[in-house]
């Protein structure tokens, strides 16, 4: 295995410093991790290729200055007599004034790595890691109630990228989508669809199917929730008027005690406000006005004078805060309702007439959920058709970014239903089960006190009570998630399962693992991995699927198409010096723009550590064109080889590899310029990157590696001629570097699923 130079040197120095300093390898490794020790390129070739300052260890060991050289010789001897000398291609090492300088044999590295890649041994070695073991990666699994948005799109890109990585490592990978068709949200959509169907309203052929259903779901939810809030606000309004009247009396009493004019002024304002319940009025604005008057008066008074008024103000704000919050939420629903009624007036017309009483609607939704769990044939057909229609929209969107699932696993399937019953039966035999009014609950708090695995799983967090069955006899999503986990291992034959699920469900995922363990599935619990990711924050845009306000994955790709076209044409306009620029092949141009848009979409959603929030401004996508840059670099590399060989390089990789290896054998001495060394070092880190991501789950590191390679490749190409280089040996060396870079980038593009452009 040929690894990156820095990574190899860290291993070598961990060993040699441990030997010379009498410090454990773990401590030395920790010093590197904390940057107390740091390997860096030297400022001058005379000082070697890499150096590391050892002063921290010298001072820690309290060595007098005249003993430094003895210590240094010990480090050099341990290094140069170890296996790491050959493994890390070390030619020489010297210790001077507290610095250890190391010389690297780049000529030998270049020859070995060229052979390693061009013969395909690198990729065969990577595939040996998985040895064909079955792995299931469940990702996306968005509720089939509305289009995929950028949040679920991040899940998709992370999940599909990780699955592709595992394939490169030789695992037998299956990508699965879990269709949550038994939850309340789907029942809300089905309720809305049933009302529309009864009134002859069918999906609009002019709208993408999942977007149509998204509008139905949002309007159904809006009308129900708005109705609840209307009732609540009406009830609260009467109480708030009483609060205002009481406040007026409290203020009058306070004025009679302290005689402060501003207090009486406040009393009059509150008294007048209490009379307005007889008029046409806006109670929300009245409360806000009174609150401002209270704040203004408090500022006019001294601390002593304002003491009693502060108590009244605090009381008033406590009494009215709930109304204000409910009113703001109500108005948000009103705004969303008005926006969506314009998009689908026929849908709105039916739903607004049918959904009058929110309590009746809730009862109907609950009844639909119960009937579906009981496998009522008519209700089951409606649920299945609705979810299937939405999934068709999903497939269209996913197809644009190159994602195809091996299977869509339905929560309502007979297999999951059967395993769910099995989970309940098995839970009843555990010592941690609690029965309450027919509800079945796993007491994970008790389990954490008595079971080491559960305690360590949650750490200091409270595990809570994991409800497996409600008192009405219906099961919960978590129960079926336990059943689905068993299904993945037993029915799909997985040796390991990765669930790509949002971080907000981290506790629930731990509860699933704990339940598996307590039910006796110890190995499954150990091999179930939560690949968690954080949410997407959009500047100036607050998403809410319940209000029909989402930035969809379809829109992100389309917006990127605009950005790509604008960027390309503006560059051409500047290049040719005028507004007239003729696109020779419109169809091919549009195809290229789509591919670049997809590349930028995937790169953007992959760009940040999954465990960190991804934040961007949808109106400034031109600031996030990493995908385009990587593809342009890839095209440039192909173009160089195409010009040299006269045929498409990707179609003749083996032939090119044999030719370059043969030519390299005729070169006696390989000398690399600085930019060539930097590019080679970046390529050397490819294998280590893949193995690191497999362990850390930090899929963003794949994009970072691709960008680093592209940056080094462009620098190399700009500084040094390739095809025009007159020296034969240098030209061959540079062609080999181009080929190596193209091949490694090809692998990274396939893992990240960035579309490949034609060579131009």
Q: Is residue 435 part of a domain?
A: yes
Query: Would residue 718 be called left, alpha or beta, if left means φ above 0 and alpha means ψ between -120 and 50 degrees?
Result: alpha
Angstrom distance (rounded) from CA 277 to CA 281:
7
What is the spatial order of strands in the sheet that 39-41 belongs to? 39-41, 50-53, 99-104, 90-96
Helix axes 626-645, 700-719, angle to 10 degrees: 50
**pLDDT exceeds 90 at position 572:** no
> What pTM was estimated for this model as a whole?
0.92
Q: Report the candidate in 331, 243, 237, 235 with the shortest Cα–Cα distance to residue 294.
A: 243
Q: Report the candidate in 595, 635, 590 with the shortest Cα–Cα distance to residue 755.
A: 595
Q: Is residue 544 part of a domain?
A: no
Same domain for 177 and 279: no
Same domain for 753 and 699: yes
Same domain for 61 and 118: no
Q: Is residue 226 part of a domain?
A: yes
Same domain for 519 and 478: yes
Angstrom distance (rounded) from CA 251 to CA 405:
67
Structure letter (DSSP) for residue 619: G
Instruction: Using pLDDT thresholds of 50, 70 and 90, give the confidence band for residue 569.
Output: confident
Q: Is residue 62 part of a domain?
A: yes
Per-residue pLDDT, averaged over 336-357, amounts to: 96
Same domain for 247 and 113: no
Q: What pLDDT, on a 0 to 100 scale, did the predictor assign at position 124?
A: 96
How does pLDDT run across 614-671, given as a tens digit for each residue? 999 999 999 999 999 999 999 999 999 999 999 999 999 999 999 999 999 999 889 9
Same domain for 120 and 244: no
Same domain for 746 and 657: yes
Angstrom distance (rounded) from CA 300 to CA 306:
9
Same domain for 415 and 533: yes
Q: Report the candidate in 189, 180, 197 with the shortest Cα–Cα distance to residue 219.
A: 189
Same domain for 624 and 493: no
Q: Is residue 122 part of a domain?
A: yes
Angstrom distance (rounded) from CA 544 to CA 550:
6
Domains in the chain, number: 4
Q: Is residue 547 part of a domain?
A: no
Q: Is the CB of residue 360 less than 8 Å from the CB of residue 195?
A: no
Q: 581-593 burial string, b = 16+ CB within 10 Å, else e?
A: eeeeeeeeeeebb
Strand partners, 192: none
| Ramachandran angles phi, psi of 182, nearest 5° | -115, 5
Which of 538, 564, 584 is a domain's end point? 538
Which of 511, 538, 565 is a domain's end point? 538
Q: Is residue 315 part of a domain?
A: yes
Same domain for 337 and 477: no
Same domain for 636 and 602: yes
Q: Is residue 452 part of a domain?
A: yes
Instruction: Using pLDDT thresholds of 50, 70 and 90, give the confidence band for residue 271.
Output: very high
Average pLDDT, the chain: 94
- The per-residue DSSP string of 360-375 comes to HHHHHHHHHHHHHHTT
Count of residues in the chain:
760
Q: What pLDDT, on a 0 to 100 scale, did the predictor assign at position 570?
A: 81
Q: What pLDDT, on a 0 to 100 scale, did the predictor assign at position 45?
A: 84
- CA distances, 8 to each of 2, 587, 607 (Å): 9, 49, 27
How does pLDDT run across 489-524, given as a tens digit for each residue? 999 999 999 999 999 999 999 999 999 999 999 999
Q: What is the CATH number of the domain that holds 491?
A: 3.40.50.620
Structural domain range at position 39: 5-104
| Ramachandran angles phi, psi of 473, nearest 5° | 95, -10
**pLDDT exceeds 70 at position 581:** no
Q: What is the CATH number of the domain that holds 729?
A: 1.10.730.10
Per-residue pLDDT, averaged over 449-463, amounts to: 94
Instruction: Using pLDDT thresholds of 50, 70 and 90, give the confidence band for residue 268.
Output: very high
Same domain for 520 and 572: no
Cβ count within 10 A of residue 658: 13
For 743, half-sphere exposure in the C-beta direction (CA atoms, 13 angstrom radius) is: 27
- Please give the share of the chain, as a percent, with pLDDT higher than 90: 87
3-state per-residue secondary structure call for 681-709: HHHHCHHHHHHHHHHHCCCHHHHHHHHHH
Which of 319, 338, 358 is a domain's end point? 358
Instruction: Using pLDDT thresholds of 50, 70 and 90, give the confidence band for residue 294.
Output: very high
Q: What pLDDT, on a 0 to 100 scale, did the predictor assign at position 577?
A: 60
């Amino acid at each position: 295995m040929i690894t990156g130079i820095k990574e190899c040197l860290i291993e070598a120095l961990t060993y040699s410093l441990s030997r010379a300093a009498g410090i454990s390898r773990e401590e030395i490794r920790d010093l590197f991790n904390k940057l107390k020790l740091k390997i860096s390129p030297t400022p001058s070739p005379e000082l070697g290729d890499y150096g590391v300052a050892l002063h921290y260890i010298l001072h820690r060991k309290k060595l007098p200055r005249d003993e430094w050289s003895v210590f240094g010789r010990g480090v050099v001897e341990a290094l140069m007599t170890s296996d790491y000398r050959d493994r890390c291609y070390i030619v020489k090492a010297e210790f001077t004034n507290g610095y250890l300088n190391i010389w690297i044999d780049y000529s030998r590295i270049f020859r070995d790595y060229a052979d390693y890649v061009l013969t395909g041994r690198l990729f065969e070695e990577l595939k040996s890691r998985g040895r064909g073991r079955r792995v299931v990666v469940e990702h996306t699994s968005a509720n089939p109630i509305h289009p995929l948005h950028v949040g679920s799109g991040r899940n998709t890109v992370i999940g599909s990228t990780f699955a592709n990585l595992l394939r490169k490592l030789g695992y037998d990978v299956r990508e699965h989508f879990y269709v949550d068709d038994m939850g309340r949200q789907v029942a809300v959509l089905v309720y809305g669809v049933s009302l529309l169907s009864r009134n002859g309203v069918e999906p609009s052929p002019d709208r993408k199917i999942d977007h149509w259903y998204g509008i139905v779901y949002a309007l159904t939810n809006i009308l129900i929730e708005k109705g609840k809030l209307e009732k609540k606000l009406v009830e609260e309004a009467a109480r708030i008027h009483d609060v205002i009247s009481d406040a007026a009396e409290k203020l009058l009493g306070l004025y009679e005690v302290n005689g402060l004019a501003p207090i009486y002024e406040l009393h009059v304002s509150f008294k007048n406000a209490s009379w307005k319940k007889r008029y046409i009025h806006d109670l929300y604005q009245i409360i806000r006005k009174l609150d401002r008057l209270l704040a203004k008066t408090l500022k006019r008074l001294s601390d002593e004078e304002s003491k009693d008024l502060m108590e009244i103000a605090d009381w008033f704000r406590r009494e009215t805060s709930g109304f204000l919050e409910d009113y703001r939420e109500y108005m948000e629903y009103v705004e969303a309702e008005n926006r969506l009624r314009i998009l689908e007036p026929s849908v709105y017309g039916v739903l607004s007439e049918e959904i009058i009483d929110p309590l009746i609607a809730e009862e109907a939704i609950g009844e639909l959920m119960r009937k579906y769990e009981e496998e009522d044939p008519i209700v089951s057909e409606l649920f299945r058709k609705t979810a299937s229609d939405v999934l068709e929209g999903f497939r269209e969107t996913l197809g644009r970014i190159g994602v195809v699932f091996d299977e869509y696993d339905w929560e309502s399937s007979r297999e999951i239903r059967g395993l769910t019953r099995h989970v309940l039966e098995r839970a009843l035999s555990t010592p941690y089960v609690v029965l309450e009014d027919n509800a079945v609950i796993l007491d994970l708090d008790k389990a954490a006190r008595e079971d080491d695995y559960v305690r360590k799983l949650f750490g200091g967090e409270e595990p809570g009570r994991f409800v497996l069955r409600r008192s009405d006899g219906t099961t919960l999503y978590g129960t079926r998630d336990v059943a689905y986990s068993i299904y993945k291992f037993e029915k799909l034959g997985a040796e390991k399962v990765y669930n790509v699920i949002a971080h907000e469900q981290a506790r629930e995922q731990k509860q699933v693992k704990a339940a598996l363990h307590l039910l006796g599935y110890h190995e499954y619990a150990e091999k179930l991995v939560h690949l968690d990711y954080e949410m997407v924050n959009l500047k100036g845009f607050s998403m809410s699927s319940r209000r029909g306000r989402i930035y969809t994955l379809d829109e992100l790709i389309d917006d990127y198409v605009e950005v790509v076209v604008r960027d390309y044409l503006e560059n051409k306009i500047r290049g040719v010096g005028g507004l007239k620029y003729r696109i020779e092949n419109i169809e091919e141009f549009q195809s290229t723009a789509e591919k670049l848009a997809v590349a930028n979409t995937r790169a953007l959603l992959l760009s940040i550590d999954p465990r960190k929030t991804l934040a961007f401004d949808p109106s400034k996508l031109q600031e996030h064109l990493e995908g385009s840059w990587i593809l342009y670099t890839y095209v440039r590399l192909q173009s160089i080889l195409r010009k040299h060989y006269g045929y498409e390089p990707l179609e003749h990789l083996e032939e090119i590899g044999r030719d370059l290896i043969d030519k390299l054998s005729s070169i006696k001495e390989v000398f690399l310029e600085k930019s060539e060394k930097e590019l080679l070092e970046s390529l050397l880190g490819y294998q280590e990157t893949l193995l690191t991501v497999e362990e850390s789950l930090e899929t963003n590191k794949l994009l970072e590696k691709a960008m680093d390679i592209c940056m080094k490749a462009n620098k190399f190409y700009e500084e040094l001629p390739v095809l025009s280089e007159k020296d034969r040996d240098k030209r061959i060396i540079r062609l080999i570097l181009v080929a190596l870079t193209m091949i490694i980038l090809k692998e990274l593009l396939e893992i990240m699923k960035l579309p490949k452009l034609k060579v131009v």
